[in-house]
Each structure stands twice: as C-alpha cells, then as structure tokens.
Amino acid sequence: MKPGDRIGTYILVAPVARGGMGEVWRARHHTLNRFVAIKFIRTDARDAPGLRLAFEHEVRNLARLHAPQTVQVIDSGVHDDHPYMVTEFLEGEDLRQRLRQDAHLRPTEAVWIAIEVLKSLSEAHALGIVHRDLKPANVFLQRLAGGGGERYAVKVLDFGIAKVLHPEGDDPDFTLWPGAAVKGSPRYMAPEQVKGHGVTPASDLYSLGALLYRTLAGEPVFRGEKEAVLEAQVKRDPEPLGARAPLLGVPERLDAVVMQCLAKDPARRPASADHLRETLEALLPELGETDALMELDGSVTMSGPLPAAVAAARAQAPS
C-alpha cells in the first residue's frame, strides 16, 4: 500500500504506525473530505495462525461499543485480501506519551481520566466484553478545539485482545489469538490474568487501579524485568501511594480506593466499573481545582500544552 491508494471510499494519505498485528494509515473520505484512521492486518503477518480471526474479533467488539469514551469504528471491509477497520481520526497523544513529559499528574486530572475510562469499561462490561489490556498506551487524550487553554477528552483504544464472556466458557475466537498464552501488559495485568485463569470485569478494574497508581505516583506498582513484574503481580502486595510517594500528597481516601482496585482477590475489588466511577466522582471535590479543571462537555483542561497532534491509530497499533 502507498499514499494515494484507494480503499473503498477512502484514499490513503500517510502511514501512521505499525505493530505486531497491523499497520495503521491516515486516510481521507474521497467525497466528504473527512479524515479517518484505517487499520490493516500487516502484509507480512496476514497468514499467521488465527490473526485474521483475531482482527475480526476486534472489529466486532468495537462495533458494539458506542460510549463517547471509546474510539468509534466507522466501517470495515477487505481490500486485496487484507481485512481493514476504519475508525474515527483523533488528534492528541496517548497517556503513555503524556507521562513521558510529566512523570505524574495532579490527583484531580488523574482521577478524571480514570472516571472517563470507567465510562468506557462500564458499557463494555455490560455487553460482556473485558478489555484485558488497559494501560497508558491504550488511553488516548483527544485534543479539542476552542475554549481557553488546551482541552482534551479521553478515548479508550485497542480492544484487540478483549475477551467476550460466554456462559459456556472461553470465547472461541479469542483462543485463536497468535502468541503466548498470557496476553496483556505485565505492569497492568491482574494476578488471575498472569496465572492464566479466567478474566472478569474485575480484572479490568485491577488494571485501572494500576493505571491510576502510575499516574499518581509517577512509577508503576511493580518495577523490574517482565518475569519479576509478573511474579510480583501474583505474590507481592503493592506499596500504598502514601508510602511510595509521600511528598505528592495523595489523599488517604484516594489511596485506599487504589489499593482496593489492586487487591489480589477479585472479590475484594470494587463491585463494578460504575461503582468505582461513583466512588471516584465523590472524591473529586476534596482534590481541589475541580471547577477550574472540568468543562461542561466532559472535557478537561490540561496542566500543560499538548505536543503536535498524532493519530489515535498510533496508539491502536499493537506492539
């Protein structure tokens, strides 16, 4: 594929990203002059066992999700035997990129991002979908136009390894995903996920807690090489934020909520994404700056400027 190629009603503009599963292009609708992101299965990997089914699995998952906090799928199809998915084109940066600039976020901003992510997870969980790979790279901060300062909204990306919960057992499509048996990102995986046990919505809440810990403390719950981190997820208790980063002044109630999310036993975590969201929303007033930070449209004003725009698809391309 090359710039100028036509894919259905879209014209390829420029490649954006490439990962283990696919490549992503910025494209333009040929009559509406609207930019979109198109994700393809990589040419040199299209014959990998199960890869096509896994890609179709992601498309089906996203097509069922309509929360404003989830990246929206617009179209899908096959071009020259290459399955593709068209999503909205976003400008901004992912949370991983943001944390490279600012090691940690203000508690208000960190909690607000978590609340928005939980709105996406709430819909997914209600439909029986567990994300399984929630991490900073899969949380996109969409730059919004207008208003004072830089404003952004949150979009959850990459349901590529999501699992659909079936009463009769594992999702048959998911078992075809190529690669290792343990799927996810070590620093954000729930203990039961590390052990290869069944995942539930509570597994995503653990990952949300790990993400919130990272944004508040400026470092992950457990540090080290992959194997050491995976072992720690199962065997070690996390250090409370107040002990890890006492100078950051994370309120005790917020610290307790994060620790509850990181409980080894899924039954001890918050009851649901909605329950956790309501708990965090109740904490916002005591964090300060809420009125100045929040906007009526559900966006937030950043403490610093966003860098040059990048495509949301950059974060969608799995590594």
Q: Which residues are catalytic?
A: 133
Q: Is residue 207 a contact partner of residue 113, using CB atoms and an 8 Å limit?
A: no
Question: How do beta strands 151-156 and 139-144 pair?
Answer: antiparallel
How far apart CA 10 and CA 200 sit, in angstroms, is: 37
Contact status, residue 120 vs residue 158, Cβ threshold 8 Å:
no
Please tell me the distance from the alpha carbon of residue 299 to that of residue 293, in angstroms, as a whole number: 9
As given in the structure block, the two tokens for residue 204 are 């995503």
* Cα gap 106→287, rounded to integer Å: 9
CA dist., res. 281 & res. 285, Å (int) = 8
Q: What is the CA radius of gyration of the chain?
A: 19
User: Distance between CA atoms of 100 and 106, rounded to whole angstroms?
Assistant: 15
What lies within 8 Å, CB to CB, of 137 at 6+ separation is 94, 95, 96, 157, 158, 185, 315, 319
Q: How far is CA 76 from the centre of its chain?
A: 21
145 with 299: CB under 8 angstroms? no
For tokens 């992912």, name the residue.
94
